[in-house]
Amino acid sequence: MSTSRTSLPVPMFSRNDFNIWSVLKNCIGKELSKITMPVVFNEPLSFLQRMTEYMEYAKLLRVASEQETPLERLKYVSAFAVSALASNWERLGKPFNPLLGETYELTRPEFRIICEQVSHHPPISAFHADSESFRFHGSIHPKLKFWGKSVEIQPKGVVTVEFPKLNEAYSWSNVNCCVHNVIVGKLWIEQYGMMEVISHQHGMKATLNFKPSGWNNKDLHRVEGYITDRNKRKTHFLYGKWTEFIKCTDYVSYEEYIKENAHKFKRNADDRSKSPNESPANTPRKVLSKLNSLKMSSFKSLSIQEPDDPPEPSEGDIPKSDSTYSIDIPNSVTLWEAESRPANTAEYYQFTNFAMSLNQLEEHMKQPRALCPTDSRLRPDIRKLEQGDMDGAAAEKTRLEEKQRENRKKSKKGGQDELVIFPRWFNQSINPHTKQEDWIYKGGYWDRNDDNLELDIF
């Protein structure tokens, strides 16, 4: 097997001469379904590949499965849930929208995963990963809201971890992501909101608070939370930064620590006043009204809303963490630490080492039918962007979008080959653990035979 690459073929194109705001304001009054972001704002990955970055720290699930008690397993599953978001920091490129039926597979020593775009309207991406010790699956329906100064991405959907040999399951929903300074200044990313990691068999729960940075950046990147038992009694305290690490200590040690360090946990009145539920300051009313109900093709909806706005802690600059508020509680155990990014990450879309390899066409993949014909690695628009051909990528992106529309028309008229029905690998059904509607893997992908199928989506 080929060695994983440590860079892309060509450094990314500079976005300094482009402004997202200039694109958005020029979209006013246009046909809503036709609005697309220029390729210069993309990164050379499909959303299916970006979703696979959940698995960068999959070893945490193996470690969790090896723990002797449900409590210890919950700790490591919670650490995995946080680690899945670490690669988002500074990642300002938008992944390409998957085409209906598009797939992506990845095999690593710790796991294998299959992803599929199971719905186009609304856009829904499903995935299923497995190994000897765990299964991890879910479906994500990303929504995007534009607030005038920031863009909020809501990853709607629930993900589930199963340990089949232990007859255990855990589930959670991911928190929101906000891109700040869309109009003026340098773009930066913030994750915020509440995440509940539920242990379905044992009645335990980890409740994690991804904090907004606040006006003084005291809480930049901070995550804090509790593990509660089936009687809702707090037993452990989890803390850290979603960009760096997660630690855990017993609740008594946390209480002792907070007596001496209360200032590191309490937020002042100014910080509280800028919660995610309040409107950002100085957002022009005219901007709000003009852009109301605006849509972007990349997500189901793009709209201005005044209540429930995400936080706007700073104007123009990227905030820096204040080391004064660092927390290190006695008797803590480090559950997860982020790996450092490659030295050239800024030249390559701020990719992690893991992300660098996701669109790599390894030698064994170049053999006929080695990859499923619908695999994201075979998309010409993503490939051209990765190679630095901006015009070619834009042309291919347009061609693929038009081809998808034509295929939809044919399928509605009954002209599509009846042997090929998308989605192929997932069924919509009830998740037995969450009791909610979900997309569940049907099986068969790794033993498939595509020889007699016409799978021409690219």
| C-beta neighbour count of 221 within 10 angstroms | 19
- pLDDT value of residue 180: 85
CA distance 454 to 452: 7
Element (H, E) at 190: strand 188-199
User: Do residues 108 and 55 make contact, with C-beta atoms less than 8 angstroms apart?
Assistant: yes
CATH topology for 20-210+222-248+331-340+350-441 is: Porin (2.40.160)
User: Do residues 115 and 46 make contact, with C-beta atoms less than 8 angstroms apart?
Assistant: no
- pLDDT value of residue 324: 53
CA distance 83 to 334: 13
CA distance 92 to 103: 23
- pLDDT value of residue 29: 41
Checking 284-292 for CB contacts under 8 A at 24+ apart, the result is 284/148, 287/148, 288/148, 290/28, 291/24, 291/25, 291/28, 291/146, 291/148
Q: What is the pLDDT along the chain (458 residues), one digit of tens a residue?
A: 557 899 999 999 887 766 655 665 554 444 333 456 788 889 999 999 999 999 999 999 999 999 999 999 999 999 999 999 999 999 988 899 999 999 999 999 999 999 999 998 889 999 999 999 999 999 999 887 777 677 788 888 999 999 999 999 999 999 988 888 877 778 888 999 999 999 999 999 999 999 988 766 778 899 999 999 999 999 999 999 999 999 999 999 999 999 988 888 865 444 443 444 333 333 444 444 434 433 333 333 333 333 345 555 555 566 776 655 678 899 999 999 999 999 999 999 999 999 999 999 998 898 888 899 999 999 999 999 999 999 999 999 999 999 988 887 777 766 544 446 789 999 999 999 999 999 999 999 999 988 888 788 99
- pLDDT value of residue 456: 86
| C-beta neighbour count of 120 within 10 angstroms | 17
- pLDDT value of residue 355: 97
Domain assignments of the chain as residue spans, ordered by start: 20-210+222-248+331-340+350-441
| C-beta neighbour count of 344 within 10 angstroms | 13
- pLDDT value of residue 37: 72
Element (H, E) at 60: helix 59-65
- pLDDT value of residue 181: 81
- pLDDT value of residue 67: 97
pTM score, whole prediction = 0.86
The residue behind tokens 């690459």 is 5
